[in-house]
Amino acid sequence: MEELTHFINGKRVADTSGRFADVFNPATGEIQARLPLATPAELNAAVEDAAKAQIAWGATNPQRRARVMMKFGQLINENMDKLAECVSREHGKTLPDARGDVQRGLEVVEVCMGAPHMLKGEFTDDGGPGIDLYSLRQPLGVVAGITPFNFPAMIPLWKMAPALASGNAMILKPSERTPSTSIMLAELLQEAGLPDGVLQVVNGDKEAVDAILDNETIQAVGFVGSTPIAQYIYGRAASNGKRAQCFGGAKNHMIIMPDADLDKAADALVGASYGAAGERCMAISVAVPVGQETADRLIDKLLPRIEKLRVGPYTAGEDIDYGPLITAQAKERVLGLINSGIDQGATLVTDGRDFSLQGYENGFFVGPTLFDNVTPDMEIYKQEIFGPVLSTVRMDTYEDALQLIIDNDYGNGTAIYTADGDTARDFAHRVNVGMVGINFPIPVPLSYHTFGGWKKSAFGDLNQYGPDAFRFYTKTKTVTARWFSGIKEGGEFNFKAMD
């Protein structure tokens, strides 16, 4: 069994706490590694070293920091297959999906190559008589990232790249379930020229999280995970005077209008609902067809597509559509929600509860599941399932469908499929959701825009990556300057001229 490590001061560091967590192979259910869990003392020592390393790194000019990002991006490209295999081995997602995970993180690194532009301040010439004003963007110091299991490469890269490019040191605490990719990325960053100690990867559980939130040196915390934990981290961080950027759960709807191309809509729904076994905060988990005829036709389109989905371990090849859930507990939770949907009167169209794969009977697999006639009072509608389950909520009108989304507690992503531009434009303007797709199922913005939800999907004022990330990881200093120079009479200053 593999013994995993932390990454402290430029090298892998073995456990000293004596506390461990098991890392499973989701496809087999077997323990494949042991992960050390840091004590608060270990976490605080890593922060202290990071603070020392940050002084020189923060004083390094942005262009030189950008060169490290350039080399880092090159190394990620060169090691794409190794990183993807690491993601798949611990998470269970397919290799094409894992490569996408790495690629979407790499795209943020590429934007951070433009750090000198992103960190430029503003200048006002002659704001008053002989007075100039200018602003500086300066690093916060030491910041922290707490990242989830479902994107072991992408989310750590979304956190570390802008934080480091801005001149900060970072404490990264990856998920205990998928920790190895973060260590690999840290080693690639060191090879790219990042000084020792500027990025510290500290593995841990709630003890380490609380130590991060209470450490006085850490100035900001970025988090992605469930809504209850996002609220907890945001509140505790704020009470300790830290900036916090916390992203939580989701319940993403797709409206399908009567004029939509139903083949394209069905293809999009299958990919967006069942890809990565539904373990994505931007997964579409609720289909909202408008009109009974639209709903009937949509179900007819979905069924043959769902029946063709191939479920299996990533080692089975590139043609697998999705793999297992992350843990046995995750599987039991999803199965419990499916059972609650049946008990509460939803129509079970396809049933994934009894899915079994020869040779992988102990894996955490759930087959693709489709519900029809779901209502907003049912648990399968109210809760984020985070599994391969699609619920269909039928609505009679566009206004009813729109109101359903507006009334939902979550506001991460949403989509509409329609051939009518007026309807699409109205939807984009009125829906209270942070990311909107028009004939596009998973509207994750490109890396030079920004990612963020509304309502209970996000806590904090600034979003992830893009310009918002550089605002989050820097503080603005504004300088008002006046120089007394060159106004002389008879060799003496003319003080009257300076008034």
Question: What is the Cα 473 distance to its own chain's centre?
Answer: 16
CB atoms within 10 A of CB 186: 26
Find the helix or strand (DSSP H, E) in which 408 lies.
none
In whole angstroms, give the CA distance from residue 223 to residue 220: 10
In whole angstroms, give the CA distance from residue 137 to residue 122: 9
In whole angstroms, give the CA distance from residue 183 to residue 4: 9
| C-alpha closest to that of 160 among 73, 281, 79, 33 | 73
Cβ-based neighbours of 310, under 8 Å, separated by 6 or more:
319, 320, 321
Q: Which amino acid is at 450?
A: T
Helices (H), 60-121: 62-78, 80-91, 95-112, 115-118
In the DSSP assignment, the letter for residue 344 is T
SS3 10: coil
In whole angstroms, give the CA distance from residue 485 to residue 156: 50
Give yes or no for a contact between 138 and 186, defined as CB atoms under 8 angstroms apart. no
| C-alpha closest to that of 250 among 468, 451, 396, 84 | 451
246 is known as an active-site residue: no
Beta-bridge partners for 25: 30
Helices 80-91 and 180-192 pack at an angle, to 10 degrees, of 160
The residues annotated as belonging to the active site are 281
